[in-house]
Structure 1
Amino acid sequence: MIRDFVLASWLGLAALSPALAQAQSQPLLPTPQRVLTLSAAASMDVPNDWLTLSFSTTREGTDASAVQSALRQALDAALAEARRVAKPGQVELRAGNLSVYPRYNPKGGINGWQGSTELTVEGRDMTVIAQLAPRISSMSIARVGYSLSREAREQVESEVGARAIERYKKRADEVTRQFGFNRWSLREVQLNTDAPMPPVPMMRAKTMAASAADEALPVEPGRGQVNAMVTGSIQME
């Protein structure tokens, strides 16, 4: 058995020897010289084309099933009204979570139940969505937000990204000359784009319900900003 172990060990070393010899024969890569890290950014202001309108309602009572049923009825009524104007890409609907949870008294016992549910209506057709708001009476407006649609964001991202790349190349030319070199080559680069969501204003449900009873929701989409950042390193030659 000892002879077999020695033989196996010798065969293993014999198999590794060519690999070790090849690794030792390969020259070490030189440490990069004249490498510089740069960054450049670009941004563009564009009109928001997407309206997000969230409705919510709460119910409470002594029976959990009754609270859940009341929430379901309020959500179904709102959905029925919203489905009349729903259209893919223009007016889209998304029902939120319907939750019911216990309400406790000071001694820790359950003395009732309360719950809430939400409905989100969003899309490009801001006029239709604004006119829908006063027709949904079973729920109140909770949040209103404006942003860029996915298609608009992707279109703008391409242009902003191109601007950032051109600025990066111009910056690389300038810095290379300032350091006394004639040209540069790109080693590695990253391009990141983003379109931050604008702040979503919180509105008091009672105030919105009262103001929306007789008129459509005022629409003021404003403008959003799309940003692009190029970061990378160059080899000056």
Structure 2
Amino acid sequence: MTAHVRFVTGTDTEVGKTVTTAALAAALVADGRSVAVYKPVQSGLEDGAGDMDTITRLTGVTSVHEGIRLPDPMAPRASAARAGVPLPPVTTHLATIAALAERHDHVLVEGAGGLLVELTDDGATLADLAAAVEGSATVVVCRSGLGTLNHTALTVEALQRRGVAVAGVVIGSWPERPSEIESDNRRCLGAIGPGLLGAVPAGAGRSAPAVFRERAPTWVARSPVTAA
């Protein structure tokens, strides 16, 4: 692969993975880089739109791809079972990532739910995909509130135990008026793994696209996506 590949996972579902992925993509585009975004499994649609549609709307990136799109907002294996369809195997995902890497400077791969959610019929996870892509690194998106330190440390440890490089941590939704607990958490997150890469403001996904693209580079460090 010639491109930098970065996986984006979360400590749980609904922590801000998609908007964080969009912010990383927008920062790269602002830096003049070509970007592709891939989601191995899209489970659940909102008004017929998935996470890749959100990323295109916010960033203008058109090279967005899904391994499979499933209607029910459930864990991928359960959603696929309800739909009566098989999930793509790891080899299909790796082939797609490799093909995108040949045509772009950077490939961002957004997971579904948390790190160890099963994405294939034989139980492979985003951690397995990341471990199979040489030279890749993973960004961990977390919450700001109570419990985030434990969940983030567990996710980082799970990646490290599998030999997966961790690029760092991003708070997926940072409130305009953080509590004392949230402010303390933000300081402590800097000591987990490679540390805190940034924080995406709460509600950023509702921003006008032009505003989102202008501000995204100030929310996330460039290092997780531009480092070799």
TM-score computed with the length of structure 1 as normaliser: 0.23
TM-score computed with the length of structure 2 as normaliser: 0.23
Rg larger in structure: 1
